[in-house]
Protein backbone atom coordinates (compact mmCIF):
# COMPACT_ATOMS: atom_id res chain seq x y z
CA UNK A 1 0.00 0.00 0.00
CA UNK A 2 1.37 3.46 -0.86
CA UNK A 3 2.04 5.97 1.88
CA UNK A 4 -0.83 8.17 0.71
CA UNK A 5 -3.23 5.21 0.69
CA UNK A 6 -2.13 4.18 4.18
CA UNK A 7 -2.73 7.69 5.54
CA UNK A 8 -6.20 7.79 4.01
CA UNK A 9 -7.10 4.31 5.29
CA UNK A 10 -5.80 5.13 8.79
CA UNK A 11 -7.96 8.27 8.87
CA UNK A 12 -11.02 6.29 7.80
CA UNK A 13 -10.48 3.70 10.53
CA UNK A 14 -10.04 6.38 13.18
CA UNK A 15 -13.30 8.02 12.03
CA UNK A 16 -15.27 4.87 12.94
CA UNK A 17 -13.30 4.13 16.10
CA UNK A 18 -16.41 4.72 18.24
CA UNK A 19 -17.90 1.52 16.79
CA UNK A 20 -14.79 -0.62 17.38
CA UNK A 21 -13.84 -2.54 20.54
CA UNK A 22 -11.74 -0.95 23.26
CA UNK A 23 -7.99 -1.52 23.24
CA UNK A 24 -6.27 -3.52 25.98
CA UNK A 25 -3.45 -1.34 27.34
CA UNK A 26 0.06 -2.28 26.19
CA UNK A 27 2.98 -0.23 27.49
CA UNK A 28 5.38 -0.63 24.57
CA UNK A 29 6.20 -2.84 21.60
CA UNK A 30 9.15 -5.21 21.34
CA UNK A 31 10.83 -5.24 17.92
CA UNK A 32 11.92 -8.53 16.34
CA UNK A 33 12.84 -9.82 12.90
CA UNK A 34 10.21 -12.51 12.31
CA UNK A 35 7.94 -15.13 13.87
CA UNK A 36 10.78 -17.51 14.71
CA UNK A 37 12.29 -14.82 16.93
CA UNK A 38 9.24 -14.86 19.24
CA UNK A 39 8.25 -18.52 18.86
CA UNK A 40 9.46 -19.61 22.30
CA UNK A 41 6.94 -17.26 23.94
CA UNK A 42 3.84 -18.78 22.29
CA UNK A 43 2.04 -22.07 21.77
CA UNK A 44 -0.56 -20.81 19.28
CA UNK A 45 -0.12 -18.47 16.32
CA UNK A 46 -3.19 -16.82 14.78
CA UNK A 47 -2.21 -15.55 11.34
CA UNK A 48 -4.05 -13.03 9.23
CA UNK A 49 -3.87 -13.91 5.55
CA UNK A 50 -3.10 -10.80 3.48
CA UNK A 51 0.19 -9.25 4.54
CA UNK A 52 1.17 -12.30 6.58
CA UNK A 53 0.66 -15.35 4.35
CA UNK A 54 0.28 -13.76 0.96
CA UNK A 55 0.10 -10.64 -1.18
CA UNK A 56 -2.67 -11.22 -3.69
CA UNK A 57 -2.13 -14.61 -5.29
CA UNK A 58 1.52 -14.89 -4.24
CA UNK A 59 2.84 -16.38 -1.00
CA UNK A 60 5.20 -14.06 0.87
CA UNK A 61 8.69 -15.54 0.40
CA UNK A 62 9.76 -17.84 3.19
CA UNK A 63 6.43 -17.93 5.03
CA UNK A 64 5.41 -21.42 3.88
CA UNK A 65 8.66 -22.68 5.37
CA UNK A 66 8.16 -20.53 8.48
CA UNK A 67 4.71 -22.01 9.12
CA UNK A 68 5.99 -25.53 8.58
CA UNK A 69 8.84 -24.84 10.98
CA UNK A 70 6.50 -23.58 13.70
CA UNK A 71 4.43 -26.74 13.39
CA UNK A 72 7.54 -28.89 13.55
CA UNK A 73 8.26 -27.24 16.91
CA UNK A 74 4.81 -28.27 18.16
CA UNK A 75 3.11 -24.90 17.65
CA UNK A 76 -0.53 -24.68 16.59
CA UNK A 77 -1.00 -22.36 13.61
CA UNK A 78 -4.46 -21.07 12.62
CA UNK A 79 -5.52 -18.67 9.89
CA UNK A 80 -7.93 -15.95 11.06
CA UNK A 81 -9.24 -14.00 8.09
CA UNK A 82 -11.92 -11.43 7.28
CA UNK A 83 -12.39 -12.92 3.80
CA UNK A 84 -16.15 -13.29 4.22
CA UNK A 85 -16.84 -13.10 0.50
CA UNK A 86 -15.24 -16.48 -0.17
CA UNK A 87 -16.74 -19.92 0.60
CA UNK A 88 -14.54 -22.14 2.73
CA UNK A 89 -13.73 -24.37 -0.24
CA UNK A 90 -12.36 -21.38 -2.18
CA UNK A 91 -10.21 -20.25 0.75
CA UNK A 92 -8.74 -23.72 1.24
CA UNK A 93 -8.01 -24.07 -2.46
CA UNK A 94 -6.20 -20.71 -2.43
CA UNK A 95 -3.99 -21.57 0.54
CA UNK A 96 -3.09 -24.94 -0.93
CA UNK A 97 -2.33 -23.31 -4.26
CA UNK A 98 0.04 -20.95 -2.45
CA UNK A 99 1.84 -23.92 -0.89
CA UNK A 100 0.29 -23.96 2.60
CA UNK A 101 -1.04 -27.19 4.09
CA UNK A 102 -3.76 -25.89 6.40
CA UNK A 103 -6.47 -28.38 7.29
CA UNK A 104 -10.13 -27.40 7.25
CA UNK A 105 -10.19 -26.83 11.00
CA UNK A 106 -7.09 -24.59 10.80
CA UNK A 107 -8.94 -21.78 8.98
CA UNK A 108 -11.39 -19.45 10.73
CA UNK A 109 -13.12 -16.83 8.60
CA UNK A 110 -15.49 -14.01 9.41
CA UNK A 111 -17.94 -15.66 7.00
CA UNK A 112 -18.05 -18.63 9.39
CA UNK A 113 -18.65 -16.30 12.32
CA UNK A 114 -21.57 -14.54 10.65
CA UNK A 115 -23.22 -17.74 9.45
CA UNK A 116 -22.72 -19.44 12.82
CA UNK A 117 -24.66 -16.61 14.46
CA UNK A 118 -27.63 -16.57 12.07
CA UNK A 119 -29.46 -18.97 14.40
CA UNK A 120 -29.86 -16.05 16.81
CA UNK A 121 -32.14 -14.31 14.29
CA UNK A 122 -35.63 -15.32 13.15
CA UNK A 123 -35.77 -17.20 9.86
CA UNK A 124 -36.10 -14.58 7.15
CA UNK A 125 -35.35 -13.74 3.53
CA UNK A 126 -31.92 -12.18 3.53
CA UNK A 127 -30.67 -9.79 0.88
CA UNK A 128 -26.96 -10.40 0.27
CA UNK A 129 -24.08 -8.15 -0.70
CA UNK A 130 -21.95 -10.89 -2.26
CA UNK A 131 -20.57 -12.08 -5.58
CA UNK A 132 -22.96 -14.50 -7.33
CA UNK A 133 -20.01 -16.17 -9.11
CA UNK A 134 -19.15 -18.05 -5.89
CA UNK A 135 -22.61 -19.62 -5.80
CA UNK A 136 -24.66 -20.39 -2.71
CA UNK A 137 -22.22 -22.58 -0.81
CA UNK A 138 -22.86 -22.17 2.95
CA UNK A 139 -25.43 -19.41 2.38
CA UNK A 140 -28.94 -19.45 3.95
CA UNK A 141 -31.82 -20.90 1.96
CA UNK A 142 -33.92 -18.32 0.16
CA UNK A 143 -31.31 -15.55 0.35
CA UNK A 144 -31.20 -13.25 -2.67
CA UNK A 145 -28.24 -11.48 -4.25
CA UNK A 146 -28.66 -7.71 -4.30
CA UNK A 147 -27.97 -6.29 -7.73
CA UNK A 148 -29.76 -3.50 -9.60
CA UNK A 149 -33.44 -4.32 -9.02
CA UNK A 150 -34.95 -2.02 -6.36
CA UNK A 151 -37.69 -4.61 -5.70
CA UNK A 152 -35.12 -7.03 -4.23
CA UNK A 153 -34.07 -4.43 -1.67
CA UNK A 154 -37.67 -3.82 -0.64
CA UNK A 155 -38.43 -7.55 -0.48
CA UNK A 156 -35.48 -8.48 1.76
CA UNK A 157 -36.25 -8.87 5.46
CA UNK A 158 -32.65 -8.23 6.52
CA UNK A 159 -29.26 -7.79 4.90
CA UNK A 160 -25.94 -9.68 4.90
CA UNK A 161 -22.75 -7.95 3.73
CA UNK A 162 -20.17 -10.58 2.81
CA UNK A 163 -18.04 -9.28 -0.05
CA UNK A 164 -17.99 -6.04 -2.02
CA UNK A 165 -16.20 -7.08 -5.22
CA UNK A 166 -19.32 -6.45 -7.35
CA UNK A 167 -20.82 -3.72 -5.19
CA UNK A 168 -21.26 -0.22 -6.64
CA UNK A 169 -22.34 3.26 -5.64
CA UNK A 170 -25.66 2.68 -7.41
CA UNK A 171 -26.32 -0.43 -5.33
CA UNK A 172 -25.15 1.35 -2.18
CA UNK A 173 -27.73 4.09 -2.85
CA UNK A 174 -30.46 1.49 -3.32
CA UNK A 175 -29.59 -0.16 -0.01
CA UNK A 176 -29.35 3.15 1.80
CA UNK A 177 -32.79 4.19 0.56
CA UNK A 178 -34.26 0.80 1.47
CA UNK A 179 -32.94 1.14 5.02
CA UNK A 180 -34.26 4.69 5.28
CA UNK A 181 -37.69 3.53 4.10
CA UNK A 182 -37.76 0.46 6.33
CA UNK A 183 -34.94 -0.06 8.85
CA UNK A 184 -33.80 -3.69 9.00
CA UNK A 185 -30.91 -5.60 10.48
CA UNK A 186 -27.58 -5.39 8.70
CA UNK A 187 -25.06 -8.15 9.47
CA UNK A 188 -21.51 -7.56 8.23
CA UNK A 189 -19.14 -10.45 7.65
CA UNK A 190 -16.10 -8.37 6.70
CA UNK A 191 -15.50 -5.26 8.83
CA UNK A 192 -12.44 -4.24 6.80
CA UNK A 193 -12.76 -0.76 5.30
CA UNK A 194 -10.17 -1.31 2.57
CA UNK A 195 -7.86 -3.93 1.12
CA UNK A 196 -4.66 -3.28 -0.85
CA UNK A 197 -4.88 -4.40 -4.47
CA UNK A 198 -2.66 -3.89 -7.50
CA UNK A 199 -4.45 -0.65 -8.47
CA UNK A 200 -4.49 0.89 -4.99
CA UNK A 201 -7.23 0.24 -2.45
CA UNK A 202 -10.46 -1.69 -2.82
CA UNK A 203 -13.45 -0.64 -0.73
CA UNK A 204 -14.56 -3.50 1.50
CA UNK A 205 -17.91 -4.25 3.23
CA UNK A 206 -16.96 -2.38 6.41
CA UNK A 207 -16.56 0.83 4.41
CA UNK A 208 -20.08 0.55 3.04
CA UNK A 209 -21.58 -0.62 6.34
CA UNK A 210 -20.28 2.37 8.29
CA UNK A 211 -21.62 4.70 5.61
CA UNK A 212 -25.02 3.04 5.89
CA UNK A 213 -24.92 3.40 9.67
CA UNK A 214 -24.25 7.13 9.36
CA UNK A 215 -26.76 7.76 6.57
CA UNK A 216 -29.65 5.55 7.68
CA UNK A 217 -29.21 5.62 11.45
CA UNK A 218 -28.88 1.85 11.82
CA UNK A 219 -26.49 -0.17 13.99
CA UNK A 220 -24.72 -2.86 11.93
CA UNK A 221 -23.66 -6.09 13.62
CA UNK A 222 -20.05 -7.00 12.75
CA UNK A 223 -18.66 -10.55 12.85
CA UNK A 224 -15.03 -10.31 11.77
CA UNK A 225 -11.89 -8.81 13.28
CA UNK A 226 -11.72 -6.73 15.45
CA UNK A 227 -15.11 -7.84 16.82
CA UNK A 228 -15.59 -10.76 19.25
CA UNK A 229 -17.61 -13.28 17.19
CA UNK A 230 -14.70 -14.50 15.07
CA UNK A 231 -12.52 -14.90 18.16
CA UNK A 232 -15.25 -16.96 19.83
CA UNK A 233 -14.75 -19.53 17.05
CA UNK A 234 -10.98 -19.23 17.38
CA UNK A 235 -11.21 -20.17 21.05
CA UNK A 236 -13.09 -23.33 20.11
CA UNK A 237 -10.17 -24.32 17.82
CA UNK A 238 -7.31 -23.56 20.22
CA UNK A 239 -5.90 -26.59 21.98
CA UNK A 240 -7.36 -27.06 25.47
CA UNK A 241 -5.40 -25.60 28.34
CA UNK A 242 -3.45 -22.94 26.42
CA UNK A 243 -3.57 -19.64 28.37
CA UNK A 244 -4.34 -16.42 26.51
CA UNK A 245 -0.85 -15.02 27.00
CA UNK A 246 0.56 -17.97 25.05
CA UNK A 247 -1.55 -17.05 22.00
CA UNK A 248 -0.48 -14.35 19.54
CA UNK A 249 -2.58 -12.68 16.83
CA UNK A 250 -0.32 -11.73 13.91
CA UNK A 251 -1.47 -9.22 11.30
CA UNK A 252 -0.61 -6.18 9.21
CA UNK A 253 -3.46 -3.87 10.28
CA UNK A 254 -3.79 -2.03 13.60
CA UNK A 255 -7.57 -1.53 13.61
CA UNK A 256 -8.50 -5.12 12.75
CA UNK A 257 -5.77 -7.65 13.59
CA UNK A 258 -4.05 -5.89 16.49
CA UNK A 259 -7.10 -4.25 18.06
CA UNK A 260 -9.14 -7.44 17.67
CA UNK A 261 -6.49 -9.76 19.08
CA UNK A 262 -5.83 -7.47 22.04
CA UNK A 263 -9.53 -6.99 22.79
CA UNK A 264 -9.92 -10.78 22.80
CA UNK A 265 -7.21 -11.04 25.46
CA UNK A 266 -4.44 -12.42 23.25
CA UNK A 267 -1.02 -10.92 22.62
CA UNK A 268 -0.37 -9.32 19.25
CA UNK A 269 2.34 -8.90 16.62
CA UNK A 270 2.23 -6.31 13.83
CA UNK A 271 3.92 -7.11 10.52
CA UNK A 272 5.38 -3.89 9.14
CA UNK A 273 7.19 -5.16 6.06
CA UNK A 274 4.15 -6.23 4.02
CA UNK A 275 0.50 -5.32 3.63
CA UNK A 276 -0.87 -2.17 5.27
CA UNK A 277 2.46 -0.53 6.12
CA UNK A 278 4.48 -2.19 3.34
CA UNK A 279 7.84 -1.40 4.88
CA UNK A 280 6.91 2.04 6.26
CA UNK A 281 7.42 2.98 9.91
CA UNK A 282 4.16 2.36 11.85
CA UNK A 283 5.27 4.36 14.91
CA UNK A 284 3.19 7.47 14.18
CA UNK A 285 0.04 5.43 13.50
CA UNK A 286 0.56 3.48 16.72
CA UNK A 287 1.03 6.63 18.76
CA UNK A 288 -1.94 8.45 17.23
CA UNK A 289 -4.33 5.51 17.53
CA UNK A 290 -3.19 4.16 20.88
CA UNK A 291 -3.35 0.67 19.36
CA UNK A 292 -0.04 -0.75 20.57
CA UNK A 293 1.03 -4.24 19.48
CA UNK A 294 3.08 -6.38 21.86
CA UNK A 295 5.55 -7.01 19.03
CA UNK A 296 6.50 -5.31 15.77
CA UNK A 297 8.02 -7.73 13.25
CA UNK A 298 9.93 -6.79 10.12
CA UNK A 299 8.40 -9.78 8.30
CA UNK A 300 6.31 -12.84 9.10
Say if 45 falls within a structural domain. no
- The confidence score (pLDDT) of residue 240 equals 97
Q: Are the beta carbons of 297 and 258 closer than 8 angstroms?
A: no
Cβ atoms 225, 34 nearer than 8 A: no
Alpha carbons 257 and 82: distance in angstroms, whole number:
10
Instruction: Let me know if residue 134 belongs to a domain.
Output: yes
Q: How many domains does the chain have?
A: 2
pTM across the whole model = 0.95
Mark whether 7 and 105 lie in a shared domain: yes
Bridge-based pairing state of the strands 76-81 and 107-109: parallel
Say whether pLDDT at 3 is over 80.
no
Does a structural domain hold residue 198?
Answer: yes
Whether 24 contacts 265, CB under 8 Å: yes
DSSP character string of 265-281: T-EEEEE-SSTTSTTS-
Which 8-state DSSP code applies to residue 23? P
253 domain-assigned? yes
Task: Look at the alpha carbons of 129, 134, 135, 141 in this order and tell me if their dihedral is positive or negative.
Answer: negative
Which of 177, 200, 222 represents a domain boundary (last residue)?
Answer: 222
Q: What is the residue range of 13's domain?
A: 3-34+57-112+226-294
Residue 267 in domain: yes
Q: Give pLDDT, residue 182.
A: 96
**What sign has the CA pseudo-torsion 134, 13, 199, 98?**
negative
Q: Which residues, other chains included, contact 93 with Cβ-Cβ below 8 Å and sequence gap of 6+?
A: none
Q: Which residues are paired to 128 by β-bridges?
A: 145, 160
**pLDDT of 57 above 90:** no
User: Which pLDDT belongs to residue 6?
Assistant: 79
Residue 40 lies in a domain: no
- Give 85: exposed, middle or buried? Use CB within 10 Å, 0-12, 13-18, 19+: buried
- Whether 230 and 217 map to the same domain: the answer is no
CATH of the domain at 246: 3.40.50.1000
Please, what's the b/e burial string for 248-270 (b: 16 or more CB within 10 A of its CB; e: otherwise)?
A: bbbbbbbbbbbbbbbbbebbbbb
How far is the C-alpha of 96 from the C-alpha of 226, rounded, in Å? 26
Residue-wise pLDDT for 11-26, tens only, equals 999 999 999 999 988 8
Of 173, 192, 222, which marks where a domain is finished? 222
Round to whole Å and give the CA distance between 200 and 5.
7
Identify the band that residue 98 occupies on the pLDDT scale cut at 50, 70 and 90: very high
Q: Are 274 and 300 in contact (CB under 8 A)?
A: yes
* φ, ψ (nearest 5 deg) of residue 30: -100, 130
Q: Rg of the chain over CA atoms, in angstroms?
A: 19
Q: Do the domain assignments include residue 216?
A: yes
Clarify whether residues 106 and 230 are in a common domain.
yes
Are 187 and 145 part of one and the same domain? yes
Q: What is the pLDDT of residues 138-163, one digit of tens each?
A: 999 999 999 999 999 999 999 999 99
Task: Work out the percent of the chain whose per-residue pLDDT is above 70.
Answer: 97
48 within domain boundaries = no
What pLDDT does residue 195 have? 80
pLDDT exceeds cutoff 90 at 38: yes
Question: Could you tell me which residues come within 8 angstroms of residue 62 by beta carbon, excluding any fewer than 6 positions away?
Answer: 299, 300
pLDDT score, position 200: 64
* C-alpha to C-alpha distance for 272 and 277, rounded to whole angstroms: 5
Does residue 166 share a domain with residue 71? no
pLDDT, mean of residues 18-35:
95
Q: What percent of the chain stands above pLDDT 90?
A: 88
For residue range 192-222, list pLDDT tens digits in order.
Answer: 998 866 566 788 999 999 999 999 999 999 9
Any idea which of 56-60, 161-165, 269-273 has the lowest mean pLDDT?
A: 56-60
Task: Please indicate, yes or no, whether residues 129 and 216 belong to a single structural domain of this protein.
Answer: yes
Amino acid sequence: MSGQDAVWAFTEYEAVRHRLPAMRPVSKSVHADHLDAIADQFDVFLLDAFGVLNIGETAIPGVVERVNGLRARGKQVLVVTNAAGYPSSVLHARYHRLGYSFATEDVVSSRMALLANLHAYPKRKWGMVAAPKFGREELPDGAIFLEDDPAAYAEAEGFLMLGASVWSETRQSLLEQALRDHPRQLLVGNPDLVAPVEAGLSREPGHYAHRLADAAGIAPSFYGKPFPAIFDIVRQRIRPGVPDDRVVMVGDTLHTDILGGAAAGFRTALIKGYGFFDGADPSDAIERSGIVPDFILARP
